[in-house]
Structure 1
Amino acid sequence: MDKKETFERYSRQMLFAPIGADGQSKLSAASVLIVGMGALGTVLANHMVRAGVGHVRFVDRDYVEASNLQRQMLYDEDDVRGSLPKAIAAERKLARINSLVKLEPVVADVTTANIMTLMDGVDLVLDGTDNFHTRFLLNDACFKLGIPFVYGGAVGSRGMSASFVPGVTPCLRCLIQPGDGTAETCDRVGVLSPVVDISASFQAVEALKLLVGAGSARRTSLVTFDVWHNYHYEMKIGTPNPECPTCGTHEYPSLHANEAEEVGSLCGRETVQFRLAARFDLAEWEDRLSGAVTVERNPFLLKAHLPEGERIVLFPDGRALVQGTEDPVRAKTLYARYIGM
């Protein structure tokens, strides 16, 4: 793209003096990772791609369902009918928005086994997750590698956001201890779509500041707000805690956690996830299961509708979801019955 084409596409952004032509060049050379392509992640990806960030890698483990459409802005009813993985559906939509950006969708669960690979070569990580287990993993990986991490959350009518820069600010663990995170989830108490947009937009603008080198403009507080009850609060994030196991003593506990996540409930989702197989050959499993259950398959996943009422969803990477129950015992029974332990 020559200078004229660049200006035509990004003119309103480049006319904003703190970005300008130099900042736009920095954005085009930048690479970001977005973890989670649900409500926050879709807004974040939309902003990054439209802003002209050169390489946007995004990862999500789930597929599009009808309940997502109220707030997850990149998806539509065709994605639901096709049971498309969110990362794949997002790539297809984003590619039509800006063909100049390199898009790298990854259909996977983020774990200690793959987090360093996912972060390879990125300049900044954006939090689009819905759980603190993954957030602490991202926090520790970012601080170990020296990569800025922009946190965000949204539930009910409340939102929050903060940016963490290794060597400059404290980390997420300094502000929120494991177990302190709210037990409320969108699946339990709901969420208003405007809250998602506001939270992710706070994240996106902090990301732009960091990517163009405008660190002095970075917000130095954790912002929380409630759009229904009309409050806005900012808490200064202060200085790093020398006893923090992440940014103080550099132990990075989440990177060394024993991820006994071979079987685990997804909070508020009526879903139990299994990681017991190395790989699933979807065509082979369609043949195995089709005599006993109703099966739907696309290139990305296989969905088996069980006569008991639940669903089993298989992914090529070896993951399986048992949907319709949060009880690990019942989920294991169904998994063993149809897949085997």
Structure 2
Amino acid sequence: MESSITDRQQIEQEERKRRERYSRQMLFAPIGESGQRKIEAATVVIVGMGALGTVIANHMARSGVGRLRIIDRDYVERSNLQRQMLYDEEDVLQVRPKVVAAERRLKLINSDIAIEPVVSHLTAANAEALIDGADLVLDGTDNFGTRLLLNDVCFKHGIPFIYGGSVSSNGMTAVFVPGQTSCLRCLLGSGDSVGETCDTVGVISPIVDIIASLQAVEALKVIVGASSVQRQGLLSMDVWRNQTMEMKLPPPSPACPTCGLHQYPSLHADTAARPVTLCGRETVQISGLRPIDLAQTAEKLSRSCTLTSNPYLLRAELPEGERLVIFPDGRVLVQGTEDLGRAQSLYDRYIGS
């Protein structure tokens, strides 16, 4: 009997703490108690933990999203600190993967939610597994190839997808809901054009915060079921020139390979193993065909290279002047060149074919 009373008191205490944490959010009538329960039961996936992703994750964690899966392939560099709000100088010194550094900070913000960090490059081969179980997917990526892949996997599995992008002082965002709206491919086509990037023309942090915050509020609307006030168009803005424009989304096209024909072309693209130049970063990514044992590789490279390592990656300064950043999933970043042939040659020489 005494044990039962103690258990009940503990449950009541936890409920009081929960209500205190989210009290201001529940006072907002469109969310309320029932909406808060939906938020706490939701699984949200954020792909890309750079500038947009860190702001989105901060909002999702503070709002109480029950399960937050964060996916990113990269590690924290000094140039990230200007706009990527979850990271600090210690993360740079420790060469922490972004999702590992983000998890560390998010747990300090809200220890009641489940955070799943995934150090991985999203590809056609793993996208469906990484998005599995999501109620909502938020775009924090920096290239249209990955966005179209997210678009295809979300529309295949009926998962709402909230797009966002920012560069220079410009930003765009839109909400795509399978069965209700057109998809990102209807808007962009194949997305072959590279366009400007943060690494080529720069970016100021206020536009990142604004676009990511708009994505976050649309995420809350989707989670609580407030479809009547959901954004219906593509919002575009330039905060430096004080310009804002909203364009209505086109109707779903019957000829669209994604939402019309249900072919999902990005899910069938065999691009995972091809070397890819990361625009403006003087870096080539090579996605190897096999996992890499970091300890064995460090032992091999220690004879000729200066090494830095942690449990998540190995960084090797090469005698030739370039740098290899090696991940256990087989990915290698060859930094210091944009020449695909040169990068492949260094990969073969130090990692093996």
How large is the Cα RMSD of the aligned pairs? Answer: 1.1
Matching residue within 48, 57, 61 for 2:60: 48
Matching residue within 22, 46, 56 for 1:34: 46
The number of equivalent residue pairs is: 341
Aligned to 2:8: none
Aligned to 2:284: 272
Q: Distance in 1 between matches of 2:294 and 2:273?
A: 22
Instruction: Give the conservation status (yes or no) of the 8 Å contact 2:145–2:191.
Output: no
Question: What do the CA deviations read for 1:68-117 (whole angstroms, capped 9, x no partner)?
Answer: 00000000000000000001000000000000110000000000111111
Q: Distance in 1 between matches of 2:272 and 2:163?
A: 25
User: What is the one-letter code of the residue matched to 2:315?
Assistant: K
Q: Distance in 2 between matches of 1:216 and 1:156?
A: 32
Q: Distance in 2 between matches of 1:8 and 1:281?
A: 46
Aligned to 2:75: 63
Aligned to 1:166: 178
Aligned to 1:212: 224
User: What is the one-letter code of the residue matched to 1:143?
Assistant: F
1:190 aligns with 2:205: no
Aligned to 1:258: 270
Deviates more, 1:43-52 or 1:235-244: 235-244
- Using the TM superposition, give the Cα deviation of residue 269 of structure 1 relative to its aligned residue in structure 2, in angstroms: 1.8
Aligned residue runs from structure 1 range 172-183, under 5 A: 172-179=184-191, 181-183=193-195
Q: Distance in 1 between matches of 2:302 and 2:210?
A: 45
1:103/1:80 Cα in 2 relative to 1: closer, same or farther (>3 Å)? same
- Using the TM superposition, give the Cα deviation of residue 316 of structure 1 relative to its aligned residue in structure 2, in angstroms: 0.6
Instruction: Give the conservation status (yes or no) of the 8 Å contact 2:183–2:259.
Output: yes
Aligned residue runs from structure 1 range 86-125, under 5 A: 86-125=98-137
1:225 aligns with 2:237: yes
Q: Distance in 2 between matches of 1:90 and 1:199?
A: 19
**SS of equivalent to 1:269:** coil
Q: Distance in 2 between matches of 1:257 and 1:180?
A: 14
1:127 aligns with 2:134: no
**SS of equivalent to 2:22:** helix
Q: Which runs of 4+ in 1 moved over 6 A?
A: none
Q: Distance in 1 between matches of 2:287 and 2:22?
A: 43
Q: Distance in 1 between matches of 2:298 and 2:347?
A: 15
Aligned to 2:86: 74
Aligned to 2:257: 245
TM-score, structure 2 as length reference? 0.94
Question: What do the CA deviations read for 1:240-285 (whole angstroms, capped 9, x no partner)?
Answer: 1111111111111111112254322122221111122411111111
Q: Distance in 1 between matches of 2:258 and 2:324?
A: 37
Matching residue within 119, 134, 150 for 2:162: 150
Instruction: Give the conservation status (yes or no) of the 8 Å contact 2:123–2:272.
Output: no
TM-score, structure 1 as length reference? 0.98
User: What is the one-letter code of the residue matched to 1:246?
Assistant: T
Q: Distance in 2 between matches of 1:275 and 1:36?
A: 17
**SS of equivalent to 2:82:** coil
User: What is the one-letter code of the residue matched to 2:110?
Assistant: N
Matching residue within 25, 28, 53 for 1:16: 28
Question: What do the CA deviations read for 1:103-161 (whole angstroms, capped 9, x no partner)?
Answer: 00000000011111111111000000000000000000000000000000000000010
User: What is the one-letter code of the residue matched to 2:68?
Assistant: V
Instruction: Give the conservation status (yes or no) of the 8 Å contact 2:52–2:211.
Output: yes
Q: Distance in 2 between matches of 1:179 and 1:124?
A: 23
Instruction: Give the conservation status (yes or no) of the 8 Å contact 2:273–2:288.
Output: no
User: What is the one-letter code of the residue matched to 1:302?
Assistant: L
- Using the TM superposition, give the Cα deviation of residue 180 of structure 1 relative to its aligned residue in structure 2, in angstroms: 5.6
Matching residue within 324, 327, 344 for 1:312: 324
User: What is the one-letter code of the residue matched to 2:322?
Assistant: E
**SS of equivalent to 1:69:** helix
Instruction: Give the conservation status (yes or no) of the 8 Å contact 2:272–2:287.
Output: no
Aligned residue runs from structure 1 range 263-302, under 5 A: 263-302=275-314
Q: Distance in 1 between matches of 2:308 and 2:117?
A: 22
Q: Distance in 2 between matches of 1:122 and 1:246?
A: 19
1:181/1:15 Cα in 2 relative to 1: closer, same or farther (>3 Å)? farther
User: What is the one-letter code of the residue matched to 2:347?
Assistant: Y
1:47/1:179 Cα in 2 relative to 1: closer, same or farther (>3 Å)? same
**SS of equivalent to 2:33:** helix
Q: Distance in 1 between matches of 2:142 and 2:42?
A: 25
Q: Distance in 2 between matches of 1:207 and 1:319?
A: 31
Q: Distance in 1 between matches of 2:19 and 2:259?
A: 40
Name structure 1 gaps, 5 residues minimum.
none
Q: Distance in 1 between matches of 2:122 and 2:37?
A: 30
- Using the TM superposition, give the Cα deviation of residue 188 of structure 1 relative to its aligned residue in structure 2, in angstroms: 0.5
